[in-house]
Amino acid sequence: MSSSLFQALRKPWFRLRRGTKSLALRVFRVKDASERVARGFALGMIVNFIPTFGLGVLISGFVARLFGGNVIAGIAGGASLTFFWPFLFFLNLRMGGLLVRPEVEVHDVAELNEKSMNALMWGKSFILGMSVNIILAGLLAYVVVFLLHARLRPAALAWFRRRRLRRTQAA
């Protein structure tokens, strides 16, 4: 049983690893100031906290360009959390629920109707939670990418080159 579970999770795990390496390579290859790369990545990443209905990656590049960040880093930032939007949506609701009480309190499942669901999901708590999460995640991403890009760029590019050379020699 565990062997079949391992086999089932193996392919998505390798795809996630490969995608993460690809995003990192794109960010480290950018020949721009670390500040602009960090700004572009952070602005691109925070777009994922906003319901964009599948257009987040495109919007992230536009937002990065609009605010003076690097477009490639913005697209990479937008792609970094694309598949985690259900979790980010839930995080927005939870953060907003900590700061503001929902307008409609539901004590029993029988009390749920369209009006109460709309009030719970799209009310002040969601918008406030989204705003707080955007600020916190954006600042954290900016600082981390700024520090890592400047310090690790030469070593990371050399590592990617060595790995590519090993793959071509092995083939």
Distance between CA 44 and CA 63 in Å, rounded? 7
The CA-CA-CA angle for residues 36, 38, 39, to 5°, reads 65
pTM score = 0.73
Nearest to 91 by CA among 135, 136, 126: 126
| 46 CB-contact burial (10 Å; exposed 0-12 / middle 13-18 / buried 19+) | buried
Looking at residue 157, what is its pLDDT? Answer: 73
Mean pLDDT to the nearest integer, 19-43: 82
Distances 20 to 6, 79, 132, 155 between C-alpha atoms, Å: 20, 10, 26, 17
| 4-13, 34-43, 48-57, 154-163: segment of lowest average pLDDT | 4-13
Q: Which two tokens stand for residue 45?
A: 């990443």
Phi, psi angles (nearest 5°) of residue 134: -65, -45
> What pLDDT, in 10s, does the model give residues 47-103?
999 988 878 888 998 999 999 999 988 988 888 888 888 888 888 888 887 887 656
Distance between CA 67 and CA 38 in Å, rounded? 12
Whether the Cβ atoms of residue 121 and residue 106 lie closer than 8 Å to each other: no
Nearest to 36 by CA among 63, 70, 74, 67: 70
Looking at residue 94, what is its pLDDT? Answer: 84
Whether the Cβ atoms of residue 144 and residue 34 lie closer than 8 Å to each other: no
